[in-house]
Amino acid sequence: MTTTVGSYETLTLDVTPHADDTVITLTLYSPTGAVVALVTPVESTVVGAALHAEAVAGYDAPGVWVQLWTVTGTGAGVTHRSVYVEAVALPPDQIWPPTLAQLKSDLNIDPDDTEQDIELGRQLDAAITFVEDRRGDSFNFHDESLVELPDPTRLLALGTIRLAGRWNARKRSQDGLVVMGPDMGSSRVPSFDPDIDRMLGIGRFSGPQFA
């Protein structure tokens, strides 16, 4: 599985043996070596004979990220994993608004497959409108000469594409599950989007608000 900028990942660790004094922590390092806050902190529950720890990490820059699990008390030890995060760039000739072709590319849909084009187009139009409404005070979306704001960034455009794709996945799955294939079972569609919120700079990732 390829991990790209804007992705988030559920990280897990099972510790055996464990006891009441077992403490599990996770430190996430960006490619620059800086410690990055987890999207959701570590939560530990007993599952069978193991203490199961789980957290969500978000990747907002390309390069090698390091996940460092530290266990103290019973079952003490250190486990680390490296993950390479690839950059995802939009074509240089189109940043805003994102196009249907870019959305289909991000969803790995063949350009010649037009079966979902109408519905995908609706979701993309809605996502563009949503982002322009939420971030209209931060970017010059319509290249207005008298507006002293920066142009939309590639990360913002990619976040909009991901938002449209996530909305489309939810629409197709009322029970929150998407069938991945005959040999892969099903996958749950997230009910929240910390990765997209980070890319769009909204929700918990919005800047300070001034009254």
Backbone CA torsion sign across 33, 90, 111, 7: positive
* Section 24-29 average pLDDT: 97
Q: How confident is the model at residue 171 (pLDDT cuts 50, 70, 90)?
A: confident
Question: What is the distance in angstroms between the CA of the first residue and the CA of the last residue of the chain?
Answer: 44
The CA distance from 21 to 194, in Å, is: 31
- Residue 158: HSE in the Cβ half-sphere, 13 Å Cα cutoff: 18
Q: How confident is the model at residue 76 (pLDDT cuts 50, 70, 90)?
A: very high
Which residue matches tokens 């789980």? 54
CA distances from 33 to 25, 27, 29, 65, 126 (A): 18, 11, 5, 8, 37
Q: At residue 207, what is the residue type? A: G
- The predicted pLDDT at position 55 comes to 92
Domains in the chain: ranges and CATH:
3-86 (2.60.40.10), 100-205 (no CATH)
Q: How confident is the model at residue 194 (pLDDT cuts 50, 70, 90)?
A: confident
Q: How confident is the model at residue 211 (pLDDT cuts 50, 70, 90)?
A: very low
Locate all alpha helices (DSSP H) within the chain, ordered by sequence: 100-106, 117-135, 154-171, 194-200
**Could you count the other beta carbons within 10 Å of the beta carbon of residue 110?**
8
